[in-house]
Structure 1
Amino acid sequence: MKFRLKSVFALFTLVGAMGGGLSAANANTLAQVMEQKVLRVAIDLNAPPYGMTDDKVTAIGSDVETAQLIADSLGVKLQVVPTTQANRIPFLLTNKADVVISSLSITPERAKVVDFSIPYADNKAVVAVAKDSPIKEMKDLVGKTVVTARGTTNDQQLTKQAPPGTNIVRFENDATAITAITSGQSSIFATAPSIIGALNKKYPAKAMDIRIVMSSAKLAIGVAKNNPEIKEKMNELVRANLKNGKLNAIYKKYHQTDLPADVVAMGN
């Protein structure tokens, strides 16, 4: 399930907390999406295995295939809108995308700005370290440098839980944070378990162990608050594809495990 990227959008800064200072543009309605026969989906393509590109610059990943599945179920063409973790919500608020499918965790802060579908997957925020590191808990991070991707749940949880004296270095996406790890800038990474798995597979000499689980969150499709019809349709399609097992198959393909039972139960 692969397709070419159509365009690359200019990036801009998220002002304030999750959309603060941004006024929402009128989002495309479900009727407009169906008329145009295109669903524009914001996806971070620098967050493996959720979103990434292969050596032919083709978009792949669990969120990419999930977006394709949703578009196919809707009977329209998928248009991937490349974004970053920090710009996922701004792209939605400014109508550069119809929905966000980009490892977007449901949080109270985000729920003030956007609506969410029912969960289609889950994700944990963890701290991983070099295999020979003595670090075992949050208090051990004092005086250490921890890298993470800006604007992610991992960033939020690390900022909230890290003890004073922890040096947090934020990168624009997981790919550049991985580069910081593999280049030796740090040996501590706050991210998702699947990203650590991908890093360990690609860079076995830099393999890391997960030592701290900061939080567990559900992933959902982000929808503009002034777009209830699209939210209802996303719920319908997620529920159907949980029930028929297609979302589980995508998740297992990229994350080597089944979806949690409480997510699968959303399809009933």
Structure 2
Amino acid sequence: MIAKRQSLLVAFAATCLVFSATASRADLLDDVMKAKKIRIATDLAIPPSGMVDGNLKPTGSDVETAQLLAKDWGLELEFIQTTGATRIPNVQTNKADIIISTLSVTPERAKVIDFSKAYAALQSVVGCLKSLDVKDWPDLKGKTIAVSRGTTQDTTLTNMKERELKISRYDDDATMVTAAISGQADCVATSATIVNQVGVKNPARIFEPKVTITNFDLAVGVRQGEPKMIEKLNEWIATNLKNGKLNEIYKKFHGSELPAAMRS
């Protein structure tokens, strides 16, 4: 009888601990609204999505998207500088509240963070010097392809073992683009937008998209278990896709409109 009573007490105590932990767990949206400030992880070294202007102020499509969100929600905005490899750890370790940084939605990432609905799109390609005769994957065999470490392009190309690709990894998109501009790399795996930026920075080395890897939805990343934040983000994205503001931002920096299906 005593043993049974002790077992019941242990079970009750365990239940209380679980309930207490759940109840005491802060809600991200409530915390952000209470603080009147949102910390957004954004890479400021991947033009035209994130960069700094001549006055060293953040600009770009992701920057203006983050600024619009903070304005609509009546919050102070703090940018948390990040790279492709550190975006997800930033929200997992609470260094940032959300991610707005060309974060493509993939099954692997969905295992460790939650995503909002898509606010933009990204065409992932292998781009090379315009003068190179590259039309499909077999033409890339033996050629060194520069890639930013930890990106979807890095993961995708690494898994293409049968294609015998030579991959050169860089810590971020800025150093990868520098390698292309300076002649250290004749091919890069990144977004079509970034590929086109190489020639802008060095007209003597015009790059163009050669092989499409895939098309990705870009979404806001949030640590797992924050349904209220995801719901509010989804409502905000839906509103600003419908009113055209997110399309205006994208077109301003990327030179093309968002996919029609996304805008409808």
- Give the TM-score of the pair, scaled to structure 2: 0.87
**1:21 maps to what in 2?**
none
1:95 equivalent in alignment to 2:86? no
Equivalence for 2:197: 198
- The residue number in structure 2 matching 1:249 is 248
Measure the CA separation in 1 of the matches of 2:117 and 2:138. 35
Q: CA deviation at 1:239?
A: 0.7
Query: Shift in Å at residue 162 of structure 1?
Result: 6.0
**What letter matches 1:92 in structure 2?**
V
1:181 aligns with 2:180: yes
Provide structure 1 residue ranges, at least 5 long, that are not aligned to the other structure.
1-25
Aligned residue number for residue 43 of structure 1:
42
**Aligned partners of 1:205 and 1:37: how far apart in 2?**
48
Partner of 2:32: 33
Distance 1:178 1:27 in 2: 40
Identity of aligned residues (%): 46
Q: Which has the higher helix share?
A: 2
User: Quick one: distance in 1 between partners of 2:26 and 2:200?
Assistant: 40
Q: Is 1:60 matched with 2:77?
A: no
Equivalent residue runs for 1:142-221 within 5 Å = 142-161=141-160, 163-221=162-220
Q: Which runs of 4+ in 1 moved over 3 A?
A: 161-165
In the aligned structure 1, how far is the partner of 2:169 from the partner of 2:262? 30
The answer to whether the Cα contact below 8 Å between 2:157 and 2:165 also exists between their aligned partners in 1 is no
Alignment-mate amino acid for residue 43 of structure 1: T
Aligned with 1:204: secondary structure? coil
Provide the aligned C-alpha RMSD in A: 1.4
Aligned 1:251-266 pairs, distance under 5 A? 251-265=250-264
Q: Is the 8 A contact 1:138 1:161 kept in 2?
A: no
Alignment of 1:111-122 (within 5 A): 111-122=110-121
Q: Distance in 1 between matches of 2:146 and 2:170?
A: 7
Tell me the matched-pair count: 240
Matched residues in 2 for 1:59 and 1:163: separation?
41
Distance 2:171 2:263 in 1: 32
Contact 1:135 1:141 in 2 (8 A): yes
CA distance change for structure 1 residues 206 and 237 in 2, over 3 Å: closer, same or farther?
Answer: same
CA, structure 1 residues 127+205, in 2 after alignment: closer, same or farther (shift >3 Å)? same
**Deviations along 1:181-217, whole A, 9 cap, x unmatched?**
1121110111101112222222211111211001001
For 2:138 and 2:145, the matched residues in 1 are separated by 13
Q: Is the 8 A contact 1:142 1:164 kept in 2?
A: yes
Preserved CA contact (<8 Å) 1:199 1:207: yes
Aligned partner letter, 2:223: A
Residue identity matched to 2:38: L
Q: Hey, what's the Cα distance between the residues in 1 that align with 2:177 and 2:91?
A: 27
28 and 84 in structure 1: CA distance in 2 versus 1, 3 angstrom threshold: farther
- The answer to whether the 8 Å contact 2:181/2:201 transfers is no
Q: After superposition, where does 1:4-43 map in structure 2 within 5 Å?
A: 29-43=28-42
In the TM superposition, what is the alpha-carbon distance from 1:161 to its structure 2 partner?
3.4
Q: Letter of the 1:208 partner, please give it.
A: F
The answer for the alignment partner of 1:77 in structure 2 is 76
Q: TM-score, normalised by structure 1?
A: 0.86
For residues 90-117 of structure 1, the C-alpha deviation after alignment (integer angstroms, 9 at most, x for no partner) is 0010001110000000000000111110
Who is 1:236 aligned against? 235
Gap regions ≥5 residues in structure 2: 1-24
| Aligned amino acid, residue 61 of structure 2 | S
Larger radius of gyration: 2
